[in-house]
Structure 1
Amino acid sequence: MKMFIETERLYFRELLETDVEGIFSLDSDPEVHQHLGKNPIKNIQQAKDVIKFIRQQYVDNGVGRLAIIEKESSDFVGWGGFKLITDLTNGHKDYHDLGYRFLKKHWGKGYATESSKAAVEYGFNELKLPSIYAIADIDNLQSQRVLKKCGFIEKEIFNYDLVPHYWYEHHKLTMELF
């Protein structure tokens, strides 16, 4: 098993078929999906399909969301990292989007900031990305704080699936200023 990113308390690895229970717990929770279109999954097969979809992104795009594992317990706590967005979004196409999602029982531990800072560093230093982008529902104040702590600059508001979102950008040059 290859670890891609490591922090003091967490590590990132590829999502595996054995993560199906974790993905189901994560993506079937309506509170987790509060700012994600409010469309949680409803069964284990959908969780398997999520994993299959992400694993195919590893093959097709060389990147995809990664499982985030708590070192102390070896528990699946969520996912994070990059996704290559090939659809036109807010005037952008073929860009790397930073995302993260955590099981509710792990909220408030600082995992989103810790993992996202490490992912940004990995994106710039290992993947050699010139820019990283992110979006956050305008009502998702916690995600907005995380992204700003990680050096993202809020650029504008746009409608994503008919819901207002902030568009964030982070460029390699900005990283060197921190």
Structure 2
Amino acid sequence: MTFNIETERLILRELRLSDLEGMFELDSDPEVHKYLGNKPVKTRKESQKILERVINQYEERGIGRWAIINKDTQEFMGWSGLKLNIEYTMNGFAEFYDVGYRIIKRFWGQGYATESGKAAVDYAFKVLKLPELYGITEMGNEASHNVLLKIGLKYVEDFYYEEEKLKLRWYKIENK
């Protein structure tokens, strides 16, 4: 799958095995994983498996998270985009599309999650013609809560995700 969306400051493209160093920087940081069950990766091999899983999703599901690339510097900044979740049941849903993002800490607080998230919602509704899209954050993650609201999702409810022992928040936006 070749994929490319440009926003004002970003290029959103398919994740590649060449993104390994950036993925490792992202997912080995305990602060990035603070609201993700705090399970950072410890090796590049783990990051490579994550990349391979997403690349597989492109082929099997036609969609997966995208690399966030800074237009000016060409730096890998994290990932954003859509995922068709079929691996696990979440808040009573066994199959749903969600919007998500994960950004390397040195790029936090600069609006990149919001910018890439808006592009993902736009793609979900204008290109994929999805009827709705969901978002999930861990309770206490106010930054992600605010991003989801800024990109148009509405808070629905809190729930407990037994598998990971996490208290989460559920969000939704409908294609109108």
TM-score (norm 2): 0.95
Aligned identity (percent) is 46
Are positions 1:10 and 2:10 aligned together?
yes
Residue 160 of structure 2 corresponds to 159
Q: In structure 1, what is the Cα distance between the partners aligned to 2:90 and 2:127?
A: 25
Query: What CA distance in whole angstroms lies between the structure 2 residues aligned with 1:159 and 1:137?
Result: 10
Name the amino acid aligned to 2:4. F
Task: Find the counterpart in structure 1 of residue 72 from structure 2.
Answer: 72
The corresponding residue for 1:82 is 82
Partner of 1:176: none
TM-superposed deviation, 1:4: 2.8
Aligned residue for 1:125?
A: 126
Q: Would the aligned equivalents of 1:5 and 1:119 in 2 still touch at CA under 8 Å?
A: no
CA distance in 2, matches of 1:2, 1:75: 19
Question: Which segments of 5 or more consecutive residues in structure 2 lack a partner in the other structure?
Answer: none
What corresponds to 1:137 in structure 2? 138
Q: Which residue does the alignment assign to 1:38?
A: 38
Per-residue CA distance 1:100-156 (angstroms, 9 max, x = gap): 000001001100111101110111001111110010111100000000011111111
4+ residue stretches of structure 1 with deviation over 4 A?
none
* 1:112 equivalent in alignment to 2:113: yes
Distance of 1:43 and 1:88 partners within structure 2: 28
In terms of mean alpha carbon deviation, does 156-165 or 16-25 score higher? 156-165
Q: Look up the equivalent residue of 1:110 and give its one-letter code.
A: G
Structure 1 portions without partners, runs of 5+: 174-178
Distance in structure 2 (CA, Å) of the matches to 1:171 and 1:130: 6
CA contact (8 A) 1:7 1:115 kept: yes
The answer for the alignment partner of 1:98 in structure 2 is: 99
CA-CA distance at 1:3 after TM superposition: 4.1
Paired residues of 1:85 and 1:94 also in contact (CA < 8 A): yes
Distance 2:97 2:35 in 1: 20
The alpha-carbon distance between structure 1 residues 2 and 55, as it changes in their structure 2 partners (threshold 3 A), is closer
State the SS of the aligned residue for 1:164: strand
- 2:57 corresponds in structure 1 to 57
- State how many pairs are aligned: 173
SS of residue matched to 1:35 = coil
Superposition pairs of residues 19-30 of structure 1, within 5 angstroms: 19-30=19-30
After superposition, the CA RMSD in angstroms is 1.1
Q: Give me the TM-score of the superposition, normalised by structure 1.
A: 0.94
Distance 1:30 1:68 in 2: 20
